[in-house]
């Protein structure tokens, strides 16, 4: 798993016929890319966004925070609580307490083609999932993409929901309207 660059999935699209891990394998073994349609407007909604690649965030918060939900996600046989993170630079609010997202478990539902899907983003330090600055593999905790939150930069973990069987698109009509490819460097690259 190390010394390799992967595409990290956001949600699998069956049109690409890319399997999810089912027996302790990790998401970094598969290449997928996605975008989302919300409120009749198509946004490039990334689980993890790196501004180096100039991928746009949603420009408003009218859709992104309509609903909240918390979920546990499974990765390599371990359950974690995951944060959904949005960027304040585009006026998408954090939790209503005003505290940093990494201190609270939050997630959002995104409406796509009339169906609700669940998205995952940041690990929550409150659940003792350590961040890393040394180049450990993603399957061991970290992926090298950073978000600025409350003036601090954090490392991000991308996970797949296997255990909770969250539904995904079955036709691919919405999920691939505008394909976004994202390379994530792990293990030897920051």
List beta partners, residue 7.
Answer: 183
Pairing of strands 143-149, 41-43: unpaired
Instruction: Identify the pLDDT of residue 44.
Output: 28
Q: Where does the pLDDT of residue 69 fall: very low under 50, low under 70, confident under 90, or very high at 90 and above?
A: very low
Question: Please, what sign has the CA dihedral across residues 62, 10, 89, 152?
Answer: positive
- Return phi, psi of residue 138, to 5°: -60, -35
- Return phi, psi of residue 9, to 5°: -75, 150
Instruction: Identify the pLDDT of residue 36.
Output: 30
Instruction: Identify the pLDDT of residue 127.
Output: 28
Instruction: Identify the pLDDT of residue 160.
Output: 27
All structural domains of the chain with their residue ranges: 5-185
Pick the closest to residue 36 from 104, 110, 93, 116 (CA basis).
Answer: 110
**C-alpha–C-alpha distance, residues 161 and 131, integer Å:** 20
Q: Is 102 left (phi over 0), alpha (psi -120 to 50) or beta?
A: alpha
Pick the closest to residue 104 from 83, 88, 73, 132 (CA basis).
Answer: 83
Q: Where does the pLDDT of residue 149 fall: very low under 50, low under 70, confident under 90, or very high at 90 and above?
A: very low
Q: Give the number of C-alpha atoms closer than 13 A to the C-alpha of residue 160, restricted to the C-beta side.
A: 27
Mean pLDDT along residues 26-34: 29
Please state the three-class secondary structure of 29-42 as a single string. Answer: HCCCCCCEEECCEE
Give the tens place of pLDDT for each residue, 104-135: 222 333 332 222 233 333 332 222 233 322 22
């Amino acid at each position: 798993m190390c010394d390799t660059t992967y595409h990290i999935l956001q949600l699998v699209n069956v049109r690409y016929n890319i399997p999810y891990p089912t027996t302790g394998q990790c998401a970094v073994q598969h290449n997928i890319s996605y975008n989302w349609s919300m409120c009749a407007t198509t946004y490039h909604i990334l689980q993890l966004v790196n501004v180096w690649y100039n991928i746009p965030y949603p420009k408003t918060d009218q859709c992104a925070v309509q609903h909240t939900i918390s979920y546990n996600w499974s990765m390599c046989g371990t359950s974690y609580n995951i944060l959904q993170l949005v960027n304040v630079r585009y006026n998408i609010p954090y939790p209503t307490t005003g505290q940093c997202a990494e201190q609270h478990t939050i997630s959002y539902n995104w409406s796509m083609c009339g169906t609700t899907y669940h998205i995952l983003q940041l690990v929550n330090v409150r659940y003792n999932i350590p961040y890393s600055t040394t180049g450990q593999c993603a399957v061991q905790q970290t992926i090298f993409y950073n978000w600025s939150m409350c003036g601090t930069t954090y490392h991000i973990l991308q996970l797949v929901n296997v255990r909770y069987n969250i539904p995904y698109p079955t036709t691919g009509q919405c999920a691939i309207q505008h394909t976004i490819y994202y390379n994530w460097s792990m293990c030897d690259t920051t």
